[in-house]
Amino acid sequence: MNTIAENIADFLKEYPPFDNLTFQELSAIATSIRVLNLEKNETLFQINDKLHDCFYVVASGVIHLSVIADAEETLLNKCHAGDILGLRPFFAKNNYMMTAKAREESIIYAIPIVTFRPFVANNPDVLNFLLESFATNTWNPKEKENLRGKLANDNVFYIDQKSEMQYFQSLTYNRLPLTATINDIAKDVALRMTENSSTSVVICDNQLPIGIVTHTDMCSKIATGQFPLTVTMKAIMSAPVVTVVENVSLAEAQLLMLKNNVTHLCVTSDGTDKSTVKGVISEHDLIIAQANNPGVLIKEIKRSSNAKDLKHLRERLTELIQNSIHKNIPLSNINNIASEINSAILKRAVELSILDLGSPPARFAWLSIGSQGRKEQLLLTDQDSLLIFEDVMPDKYRDVRDYFLKLGKKATAILEKVGYELCPNGHMASNMLWCKSLTDWTKQYDSWMNTPGENSNDLSSIFFDLELVFGEKKIFEAIENVILKDLDHNTLFFDFLGNDALRKNSPLTFFKKFVLEEDEPNKDKFDIKTRALMPLIDGARLFALHFNIKGLNNTYQRFKQLAIIDAKNSDIYLNCAEAFLTLSKFRVSEGLKNENSGQYINLSELTKLDKEKLKNALAPMKELEELIKSNFKLTQFS
């Protein structure tokens, strides 16, 4: 092997994903690598250029990656030695979506895809490294610190996120695919493809898929004159066809296309070629799915400039939730992602308000309380928030508070336009009661927790489900510490909270019938929020505070953690956790169907099986109630 190739192999083995390959493999790759010398400001590729037949590694120098957005160039990333860029030709067929330009004199290694592809297909670690980057739009998935060897993929969007997102990224594809037999004539099939705007036709024998003919096949084999128009499908089809199950994820589909070097996958009943055809997934479908990736949504939220943009993005979140539920993704996973996207929307509303008002006169923290504070806001329910600003000199207090009240009003107005209704109880940062200094909030929590009976009118237990949306973490932690201090040996507070948790009306009558609403507009409907979900939410919070569980607000996760901490009652907690997910799913399905908060369920629309499921999910509440009664002295507020 020549010395140049040896030097290249030596260099590459220091960086991922090449460090997963043997030196022999690297040497084989190195002999086909082209070395490019770029002058300062020379372009490697730019937006809308046709894709190259290679991807690139920076050997020395610095390459800037940028996009044009709103008529101005935005720098997305700087690539240094060992960084990979230009991965788009691996995973997509559309043109480059960004520009790569040398910031200084640079040496670049151009690695032909044709040479590298076999090493990718045979090495899961290398494949996963490249695929995770493309499918989740992350930096180097192995190195969250972005130290060295980071990936700069050619999607315009970047976001630190869980790579699991791609595994339940929903995929929309053609569920009415064209089919033909091996004896059908190319001319007839081409006409049918044109009439149906289809890029492929599945070739079947006895309704089972045996091959596929794509638009590319037609162009390369018929249009070039290699075969006549009268040729049968048997001569030009690709066989066997790569088959997948119906609920395949975006990541799995990309993986299969890459491994098999194909542009279409055939969806069948059981995922094999021994069952009937249900659809076809094309490369184009994967590119469309990329645009609905949660990471992409968050990136777009960060760039949005008004409430209208945010409203549109919130609607896309609803679609994502709907698709995920349709695919039976666990609700706890859907909650994680929805809460990240909701948080990004809330944060952007605060940012846009600051851009409008000018810089804040003091440091502050904007907190979500209630369902978003618990990471449980899958539907467009009302907004609950509070604002804490740092202590300032007495002569500045009024001006500072006025600024933050204005900020609260602007941000809540934006969120109302997005679709989050104003809280009917006024629990919002725009309300003078819930927008005050750290000292005032400390007094408020001290008062609530040490003398709960005297202040019970404005004490809502949702004030103990807090999530920092924007601002200073230290201010947020200061309030957490106040709560922690006031919990210590505070039997009176637990007496109050315990009674509050038990105050919700029972969901079933003595004869095990659902208790329905008696008044309009929800007459004869079941209030799943108040009668079923709230007792579980309140119970989980009560025990989480009692056992001093920090940093976990989500009801499902609280119950799971309680099962570990209080092992003798673990069965009760685990039953409650499952019940909470089942009930939440009922509520979300109802809300999505009727485009409302899903609070009231029309039982007459449920199947007998669903009614039974709903009733069974209410059973653990009785056990939880008994556990509360036996654990806390519920005397003063009973």
Domain of 24, CATH number, reads 2.60.120.10
Range of the domain at 270: 179-287
* Pair (450, 503) in one structural domain: no
Least confident stretch, 211-225, 241-255, 529-543: 241-255
Of 119, 138, 160, which residue sits at a domain end?
119
The answer to whether position 292 is within a domain reads no
pLDDT digits (tens, 9 = 90+) for 498-507: 888 887 767 8
Which pLDDT belongs to residue 215? 87
Domain membership flag for residue 63 = yes
pLDDT score at 134: 54
Question: Are 328 and 473 part of one and the same domain?
Answer: yes
Instruction: Say whether pLDDT at 137 is over 50.
Output: no
Domain-ending residue, one of 287, 318, 340: 287
CB 507 within 8 Å of CB 532: yes
Within-domain flag for 532: yes
- Residues 332 and 267 placed together within one structural domain of the fold: no
Mark whether 416 and 533 lie in a shared domain.
Answer: no
Question: pLDDT tens, 4-32?
Answer: 888 899 999 888 888 888 888 899 899 99
Q: Cβ atoms within 10 A of the Cβ of 635, count?
A: 10
Q: What digits encode the pLDDT tens for the residues 175-208?
A: 889 999 999 999 999 999 988 888 899 999 988 9
Does one domain contain both 473 and 351? Answer: yes
User: How many angstroms separate the CA atoms of 444 and 425, rounded?
Assistant: 17
Give 3-state DSSP helix, strand, coil % of the chain, rounded to 5: 50, 15, 35
pLDDT at 170: 58
- Percent of the chain clearing pLDDT 90 (strictly above): 42
| Cβ neighbours of 592 (radius 10 Å) | 18
Return the pLDDT at 265: 94
pLDDT band at 167 (very low <50, low <70, confident <90, very high): very low
Structurally, the chain folds into a number of domains equal to: 4
Of 112-126, 201-215, 430-444, least confident by mean pLDDT is 112-126
Q: Are residues 419 and 514 in the same domain?
A: no
Residues 318 and 439 placed together within one structural domain of the fold: yes
Question: Can you tell me the mean pLDDT for 124-135?
Answer: 66
Do residues 434 and 500 both lie within one domain? no
Instruction: Give mean pLDDT, residues 239-247.
Output: 88
- The rounded distance, in Å, linking the Cα atoms of 229 and 190 is 9
Q: What is the pLDDT of residues 331-357, one digit of tens each?
A: 877 888 888 889 999 999 999 999 999
- Same structural domain for residues 383 and 413? yes
Predicted confidence at residue 184, as pLDDT, reads 94
Rounded CA separation 196/309 (Å): 34
pLDDT at residue 160 above 60? no
315 and 427 co-located in one domain: yes
Of the three residues 228, 255, 287, the one that is the final residue of a domain is 287
Full DSSP string of 242-254 = PEE-TT--HHHHH
Whether residue 356 lies inside any domain: the answer is yes
Identify whether residues 384 and 507 lie together within a single domain: no
